[in-house]
Amino acid sequence: MLNKYARTFFTTLFTPLAALLLRWGVSPDAVTIAGTAGVAVGALVFYPQGELFWGTLFITAFVFSDVIDGIMARLRGPGGPWGSFLDSTLDRVADGAVFAGLAVWYFTGGDSVPTAVAALLCLVLGMLVSYARAKAEALGFDASVGIAERAERLVSVLVTAGLTGLGLPGEFLLGVLVLLALASMVTVFQRVAAVRRQSMDPRPAGQG
């Protein structure tokens, strides 16, 4: 849902920057890699030290690269599947770094094993959500359903982590992580059910 309503706004906002980067000779792949590296540094350097607010600010400065590289690719014209593959793969790296950074902090200085475990559950289930869709599409099915898309998961955890760094009680972050883990689990089941229904259809996979 967040993707649907926010994409138009952010596309309008970042199109001038995307066009400028293209004029400077910067490739969409370079933006994808730089953005992922920035998110990983913010999550794996700041978060394990307990700097949740500054880590979130650092991550936010790079997380919009996921929008910018897509705009650049569309402005540059038709391309091959490589860019899409790279973007999708590095999205998983970025997401994993965010939840791993939180888990490291709460297993150590943050001293909250439940929060650390919830972060790890979000990491694993988030990867499973993405895998279920990718595998379904590779087999010719449509699994673009579910209540926990990537954008919703990422925005929720970043906002709550940043506020926790400003003094919001840690229980709120734990609650958000638990809800995200549950939502991801539901999404996995929704995608499995969707593929199951399509697989029982006598028509060939991928045909409506």
CA distance 156 to 182: 14
The reply to whether 29 belongs to the active site is no
From 29, 91, 142, 201, the catalytic residue: 91
Half-sphere exposure of 128 (CA within 13 A, CB side): 18
Single out the residue of 73, 70, 56 nearest to residue 161, CA to CA.
Answer: 56
Helix 52-63 crosses helix 150-165 at what angle (to 10 degrees)?
Answer: 150
* Nearest 10 degrees: Cα torsion 133, 115, 2, 73: -60
Strands (E), 73-192: none
Single out the residue of 9, 76, 62, 7 nearest to residue 31, CA to CA.
Answer: 62
Evaluate whether 99 touches 145 at the Cβ level (below 8 Å).
Answer: no
CA distance 169 to 171: 5
Write out the H or E segment, with its range, that includes residue 9: helix 2-23
Residues that are catalytic: 91
